[in-house]
Structure 1
Amino acid sequence: MSQQDVHVEHHCEVCFRMAARRCVPCDILCCEIHMKPHQHKGHKVVNPEVKLEELICANHGKPIQLYCNDDKTMMCLMCQMCKDGKHKNHNVVTLETVHAELKDVLKTKCPEVSKSKQHLQSQLDQLQEEVEQTQHTGQSTEGRLEERRRELYQLVDETVDLLMSRVIKRKNKKLSLLMKNMEKRQQQLKSVLEAESLLQTALQELEAVYFMQGFKDLVQRLESVSHFQYLKMAPRTSVGLL
């Protein structure tokens, strides 16, 4: 969403306590106490970080309150009543209505994101387990080869060296593939977690303007992380030769 990420302290312009909300019509910051008279008058109040110019129609300077389903644009009452008839006979609803509807759309994405996260985490756990098993198996094989080298002395030195080289090469090749797969799934999981965080933030967003501005990009991001190709786990095999 478009709200600033950096936290800035705002103070009530009446008593200088910490500001809780900003009154849009009066353009004044208020604490919890001095906010109540504005609410009683039916004034719209928003978070202190909200930029009022982003809630105001650029064409008429009036609060954005409507949404045109035909043009997919937000607008004020004057836009609908404008003489040029741009939105005449269009399907126009309140911003709160489309805000609620699109939140419902996002909620349907929650199971997909959760499922994708669970699949990726499960595969990462399996990969980690196989990495550990591969390392243990490789080390055990190396140890047995070293023991046999000592038993047979120089007679089998070249043969043991050859076998050792094959085991280490196979182990390293498999470990390299496993680590690449882990890195890929970790990146995908990171993307899913980021998308999930943005999804939860959007669902808790109180301001319809910010919600609408980020909705399209958020849906695209959710769809992209919900269609990751899951890794087909191959049967576990030992890297040892003996």
Structure 2
Amino acid sequence: MDTTGQEPELRGGLNRGLGPLLQLRGCYAPGTDAQNDHTRREIMAALEQLQSEVACSLCLEDFKEPVSISCGHNFCRPCIELCWAKAEGNVLCPQCRETIPEGTFRPNRVLGNIAELVKRLQSEAATAAATPVGNAICARHQEPLKLFCQQDEAPICVICRESRDHQSHKVLPIEEAAKDCKKLIQSELQKLKRKRENAISRQLQDGLTIKQHLEKIEVERDLVVNEFDQLHQFEQKQKSLFLDELQKLQEEMEEKQKADAEKAGHLSTLIEDMETICQQSDSEFLQDIKNILRRSRDFQKPEFTSNFTPKLVAFSLQNAALKLTLKTFKETFASQLKEYEQQARAPELNDQLKGILLSTDSH
């Protein structure tokens, strides 16, 4: 049977699991101290990854009598036989659904050996993880860790003590070093607890202060809205007055323009009438002379002349004054805001500002 298809997949899975174990070979010893905890965790993770590669996808447990089928997948022999016994028609791979000719398989003893090895390694690793620190042994020399190197801050064995790495270092018996380190830890622990108490106290105080500040922010927000509403109402009122005056002046000009046009029309009619009667006979001419002269004298009366120029000049000056006032207001407002902000940051004004805040809150 051709089983070449299974080799890359199986080899890749085993490499993923065995790779970390091979890299860590020689770095792990059962029951090592805290310095080797990281190595221990790496080994356990590698074993878990390797275990996933030697687990049957049907029963999800370690392989029992593993067999390989033509598509390259592996299963427990009892699992695949039970699966195919229930099949109707073509026999398929339970994992990739490929048709398996005649439902054949062959034992995979290598995979079975690996599954047993992984199970044994897991058992040893679990036993090592549960070994007390006091029974820790040196990963390099397999000797008990009875000494503590103060410079490297790590337990060592008597052989490590004589090596070049630790020969010039100061060492202590493991029990004495543990006692000193526990005292140091207790001292640091007390400092941290005091620091935590201060942080909690400061948090409570800051919480009350922040609550007061948040209430003050709401008050200030209402004041800002109220002041700007009043400013907006004043601006709208002045704007309406200004525009009303301009509208009134415009209407006066339009009425004057209309009156002038009507007067010009009446003058044209009078001129035409006077020219017409001058062409009449004497008796006809004199019959309407009184009315013609009255109409002519009415136009000769002095008229009231409207001079709109001074009013326009006044409006232009008012507009210029408004523009200058707004510009000054903007510049002064921004400058004062910046000045007040700087003053508020001055330490000598803190008490004064607190008094202002308290007096404002009391009102």
Pick the TM interval, shorter chain.
0.3 to 0.5
TM-score, scaled to structure 1 = 0.39
Which structure is higher in RCO with an 8 Å CA cutoff and minimum separation 6? 1
Structure exhibiting the larger radius of gyration computed from Cα positions: 2
